Amino acid sequence: MRPLIGISCCVKPFGPTGMPNHAASDHYVRVILGPVEGMPVLLPAAGEAISRELLSRLDGLLLTGSRSNVCPVYYDGPQHAEGTPEDEARDATTLPLIRAAIAAGVPLLAICRGFQELNVALGGSLDQRIQDLEGRMDHSTPADQAIVRVRTGKAHSVRVAAGSGLARLWAGLDYDAAAVPVNSLHNQGVARPAPRLRPEAWAPDGTIEAASIEGAPGFAVGVQWHPEYDWERDPLSRRIFERFGAAAEEFARRRMLNRALPSAVAAE
């Protein structure tokens, strides 16, 4: 039986009345069914009820990318510029969910916005427009960029720390740790890393692009780029999902064992 992987949803307006819907990109569903070898379940942005009622039934958690931005109130940041997209329902769901998942050792993979949520959930802060900061690159891709290979193509390199969790995860693969090409579709980035956030990869301008979580009992990895766009042709992207899936599979096995144990003990 495949491990059950929760995928975070955004609340997005649909149809002529802008009816709020809970949505996630098909890329995330396909990557869970593909290299993760899991069974995807969409997690509505329904607040803390999701971590309270659903987390115990999940074997993994995928925090998705999104054009919307974590509300600054969660990291004592300045208000966003007028027109910056936000998604309070998603924040109210994912931030407690991340804390609960890490505490419970539920394998967690955080991508782009999900990576930023990971940092904020654990006490870190964000820069809201990296491109406006002295000496920093523009990491964004215009929302109206319709040419897929431009929108999701490789945009800059990242340097991966030797001996890091990411370096271990990519063991045996052929790549240059000083310059791993990645795509880039974000305006925001880690400003103050959370106390437990262990940065493991950086863009040439110093932007933190990947991290693991100190002391996390389970798999807990965040990346600022989008491996879900590249896994079918890029071994490094695929490996991230394979290792996440293996962690979820092991978590599922132990969860089933623990569920069987009480009755087995009682039967003795």
CB 39 within 8 A of CB 60: no
Q: Is 10 a catalytic residue?
A: no
CB 71 within 8 A of CB 89: no
Does 65 interact with ligand LF53FM6H (rule: CB under 6 A)?
Answer: yes
Of residues 171-230, which lie at the interface with ligand LF53FM6H (CB under 6 A)?
Answer: 185-188
Sole window of 29-37, 52-60, 66-74, 99-107 interacting with ligand LF53FM6H (rule: CB under 6 A): 66-74
Q: Is 112 a catalytic residue?
A: yes
Least distance in angstroms from the C-beta of 112 to ligand LF53FM6H: 3
DSSP 75: G
At what angle are helices 88-104 and 113-121 packed, to 10 degrees?
A: 70
CB 16 within 8 A of CB 69: no
Long-range contacts of 168-172 (CB under 8 A, 24+ apart): 169/221, 169/239, 169/240, 169/243, 170/236, 170/239
Q: Within 10 A of 39 (CB to CB), how many other CB atoms are there?
A: 16
Contact mark string toward ligand LF53FM6H, 88..127, x via CB under 6 A: ------------------------xx--x-----------
Q: Is 226 a catalytic residue?
A: yes
Does 66 interact with ligand LF53FM6H (rule: CB under 6 A)?
Answer: yes
Does 156 interact with ligand LF53FM6H (rule: CB under 6 A)?
Answer: no
Of these residues, 139, 156, 186, 226, which one is catalytic?
Answer: 226
Catalogue the active-site residues. 112, 226, 228
The site for ligand LF53FM6H (CB under 6 A) is made up of 65-69, 112-113, 116, 185-188
